[in-house]
Amino acid sequence: MIDLTLLADGGLGWLDASGPDSHLVLSTRIRLARNLAGRVFVSRSSESEREAVVRDVQAAAGDTVLLRQAARFRLDRLEPLERHLLHERHLVSRDLAGLGAEGRTRSGAALLMQDRVGVMLNEEDHLRLQALASGFALEAAYASLDRVDTELGQRLAFAFHPEFGYLTSCPTNVGTGLRASVLIHLPGLVLTKEISKVLQGLSQVGLTFRGLYGEGSEVVGNFFQLSNQTTLGQTEAELLDHLGKVVRQVMDYEEQARQVLLRNAPAIIEDKVWRAYGLLRYARAVSFDEAMNLLSGVRLGVGVGLIPGVSIYTLNKLLIHAQPAHLAAAEGLALDDSDLPIHRAHLVRRVLEDDTGRSR
Amino acid sequence: MQCEQCHEREAVVHLTQIVDEQVTTVHLCERCAAEKGVEGAGPPAKTPLGDFLAAIGKGQLGVPVGTVELMRCTTCGASLQDFRETGRLGCADCYRTFELQMRDLLRRVHGSTHHVGERYVRRGSAPVTAERAQDDLREQLRLAVETENFELAAEIRDRLRVVE
Ligand SMILES: [Zn+2]
Ligand SMILES: [Zn+2]
């Protein structure tokens, strides 16, 4: 089994709920797409060319301050369960983890990670630099990413066009190569049925949304990843500023929706969040989707002050450890073991019991 | 991703709906989506280029069809047909080979063709001067201190002392 203790906080520092607005925003992530000049893009590259990318970037990283002690993971040499684990921690994309239909990783698929900054190698682009931050923290995440980008850019030759900017395999990423996403919990807007309007509004202001696991993933547990749609024609600061303003507004809408619910239907909301809590405290088998939806209810209850004694950090931890690969790894089971829902229910019961035990 | 309706074709439409107070995303192929009366709702699919790709190299972008189809990037061998199928370019030089089409595409996708963000200045191949080596070390020292990597900072300070 891979050693995730090689990573600071097991690579989970981003969910410690220490960042700004953690009751609504789980995490902020920013990535920069970069390619090496003079090398064909990953989609047309050979095995040896991808190895050369790994070699070049590792050598460059070893010479930097910010990545010199980076933990290295060769995704192409890991077992499926291990790759699932990294993906469930949001450290690698679905594509890099080889969790698509063919279930195989590309040779040369690798991850370098130090503190909360990492580089995915041989993803769609040669390099996908990424920074993770707890809560709503666009500036902080970008600041750390920008420094790594500068350090690597001085030691490598990135493909850059005087007019188009950073060149990427897919033209939708060209220019800054920057995609910033804010993972936000919006149960109030879902319950008041305002969410469709908000999501439709996003596309009108150049933003888009995805589910919990990024590109192409489903929305579970009322978590939405809001991110910029375009990458060209605006500066990095403008892109981040715009996204930040819209997220701020969505947060306001969410708070308003919660107030409306509490004012107009206090008994219903109270019943709903306690019911979710009760199920999690006493159920004996819970599927992942059900767990996510119930945890969403409890998170709402904690957010509006109805459920005391449960911390957001505890809920964040459950979000990670109740996932299939995490459960399977912890229990020594296979990913498709039919007893996972039973183990999940046990884990959730135990963790929630601990939390309430401490507070009383 | 497979269509959730027929389980046969690739899902291209990702529709977000609210059922039972929960938001779910339904993944459908083009045909099943059409049957449900859905048109490309929800978040963009893996390649949010759909319509743009269809238009490329089909004579709609000001270049006669024949010539464009024959064009191949001399560096990586990719053709516009390849791009249309995958939504991915083969190498950085593809942007020069298919500049006309890319310019048009970028304008449609991003509303602009001009990068105005950070400009990448590649460190020249000029010989390393003593002055630049010192500047580099000072920059590394600053980063090391900033990230509280004091052991490394001490090491860099020693190296600076030698060269200064
Ligand atoms: Zn279908
Ligand atoms: Zn090419």
Residue A47 pLDDT exceeds 90: yes
Residue pLDDT, tens place only, B126-148: 556 777 778 878 888 888 888 88
The CA distance from B82 to B52, in Å, is 14
The CA distance from A93 to A119, in Å, is 11
List Cβ neighbours of A357 (8 Å cut-off, separation of 6 or more).
none
The CA distance from A288 to A290, in Å, is 5
List Cβ neighbours of A259 (8 Å cut-off, separation of 6 or more).
none
Asked if residues A181 and A227 have their Cβ atoms less than 8 Å apart, the reply is: yes
B21 chain-A contacts, CB cut-off 8 A? 190-191
Are B123 and A211 an interchain contact pair (Cβ–Cβ within 8 Å)? no
Residue pLDDT, tens place only, A105-124: 999 999 999 988 999 999 99
Residues forming beta bridges with residue A153, ordered by sequence position: none
A210 chain-B contacts, CB cut-off 8 A? 43
Q: Which of B21, B24, B143 sits opposite A66 (nearest CB)?
A: B143
What percent of chain A shows pLDDT beyond 70? 97
Residue pLDDT, tens place only, B16-57: 665 555 566 778 877 777 676 554 333 334 445 666 666 665
Check residues B3 and A195 and name the one with the higher pLDDT. Answer: A195
Model confidence band, residue B114 (pLDDT cutoffs 50, 70, 90): very high
Q: Which ranges in A265-311 belong to alpha helices (H)?
A: 266-282, 288-303
Both structure tokens of A207:
């933003």
Model confidence band, residue A357 (pLDDT cutoffs 50, 70, 90): low
Model confidence band, residue B112 (pLDDT cutoffs 50, 70, 90): very high
A147 chain-B contacts, CB cut-off 8 A? 143
Residue pLDDT, tens place only, A285-324: 999 999 999 999 999 999 999 999 899 999 999 999 999 9
Q: What pLDDT does B52 receive?
A: 66
Closest residue in B to A191 (Cα–Cα) = B21
Both structure tokens of B46:
């893996």
Q: What pLDDT does A359 receive?
A: 47
Closest residue in A to B13 (Cα–Cα) = A216
B45 chain-A contacts, CB cut-off 8 A? 216
Longest dimension (CA), chain A: 64
| Among candidate residues A145, A147, A141, the one with its CA nearest the CA of residue A183 | A141
Are B46 and A167 an interchain contact pair (Cβ–Cβ within 8 Å)? no
ipTM of the complex: 0.88
Q: Dihedral angle at the C-alpha atoms of A39, A44, A48, A49, nearest 10 degrees?
A: 10
Residue A218 pLDDT exceeds 80: no
Residue A272 pLDDT exceeds 50: yes
Model confidence band, residue A217 (pLDDT cutoffs 50, 70, 90): low
Whole-model pTM: value is 0.84
Of all helices (H) and strands (E), which one includes residue A359? helix A340-359
Phi, psi of A157 (to 5 degrees): -110, 110
Provide the chain B residues 17-46 that lie in CB contact (below 8 A) with chain A. Answer: 18, 21-25, 43-46
Closest residue in B to A45 (Cα–Cα) = B90
What distance in angstroms lies between residue B26's CA and the mean position of ligand 1's atoms?
11
